[in-house]
Amino acid sequence: MKETLFVKKTLEFSKNLHIDLVKKLFVFDDVDSTNRIAKELALANAEEGTVVVARTQHHGRGRFDRIWQSPEGGVYLSIILRPRKSTQKISLLPFVAALAIARTINLYGLNANIKWPNDTLINGRKIAGILLESELKEDAIIYVVVGIGMNLNIDIRDFSPDIQPQSTSMSHELGSPVDYHEFLRTFFIQFEKAYFLFVENQYERIIAEWKIHTDTLGKTIRVQTSTGTLQGIALDIDPFGFLLLRTENGEIKKILSGDCLY
């Protein structure tokens, strides 16, 4: 671990964090990907609540093998979870994480919307993303790594031109920078609250609260799935996290994951 000012300050911050869920914080200055490190730790038996945080990533990964641009000023973290649940419940964890992010952003006076399943947007521009990776054995969850990238104090011009028009950051929206550690604390509190609902089997409540923040339902959308593209009206989310889509011929399709375009 290179002991930069970021690492020093964040380790100091972690000593006074006192959030039950966050058991241990590994802090790095620059890494390839916090998800990769978290998976390595999970394989070495790291406990639930182990978190990896980095100032920057040089190989941040997004969904669908995309690159997650990770310049200085963003929040890049991965949380190891080991829920004692059946594997089918994993599909609700993206909702848990998205809910925590949206609530965090809202606490800063901004209106965050969730685009199904888990992109957080402000005024239609992406501010945060979630990448879940897991290891399952038969019907047991061995571990889940919840990787989260949030654009905090980033000048949009630090992103490559192709993603600038659809990206935003907290500092861009607020017109001034946000305290990194205060934001991290707020996020951990919200994540713990949302994850608690999951641990307590309050799945319908998770979906109900997620729905308060989503702007996908009711819209005509196109979803790219591993088996093809579907178009229709996003009707609802079922208690397992499936999107119910009414296609043009009136059929109701249940979709677990995909890339959603408005």
Q: Which residues bind ligand BTN (CB under 6 A)?
A: 33-35, 57, 60-63, 66, 68, 76-78, 119, 129-131, 147-149
Question: What is the DSSP code string of 45-78?
Answer: TPPTTEEEEEEEESS-B-GGG-B----TTSEEEE
Q: Which amino acid is at 30?
A: D
Strand 119-122 relative to strand 125-137: parallel, antiparallel, unpaired? antiparallel
* 65 vs 139 by CB, closer to ligand BTN: 65
Pairing of strands 24-31, 50-57: parallel
Nearest approach, Cβ of residue 250 and ligand BTN (Å): 32
**Please, what is the minimum distance in Å from the beta carbon of residue 119 to ligand BTN?**
6
Give me the least distance between CB of 71 and ligand BTN, in Å please. 12
The residue sitting closest to ligand BTN, measured at its beta carbon, is 129
| Closer residue to ligand BTN in complex, CB, 129/232 | 129
Toward ligand BTN, which CB reaches closer, 112 or 131?
Answer: 131
Beta strands 228-237 and 243-247, pairing class: antiparallel
Residue 205 identity: R
Helices marked H in 166-202 — which ranges?
Answer: 170-174, 180-199
- Provide the strand spans (E) within 200-242: 220-225, 228-237
Distance from C-alpha of 75 to C-alpha of 139, rounded to nearest angstrom: 33
Of residues 205 and 215, the one with the C-beta less far from ligand BTN: 215
- Residue closer to ligand BTN by CB (options 131, 223) is 131
**Which sign does the torsion angle of CA 249, 253, 259, 262 carry?**
positive
User: Shortest gap between Cβ of 145 and ligand BTN (angstroms)?
Assistant: 8
Could you please report the per-residue DSSP string of 79-109? EEE---SBGGGGGGHHHHHHHHHHHHHHHTT
- In whole angstroms, the minimum distance from the beta carbon of 84 to ligand BTN comes to 24
Q: What is the nearest approach in angstroms of ligand BTN to the Cβ of residue 152?
A: 12
Which lies closer to ligand BTN via its Cβ, residue 73 or residue 147? 147
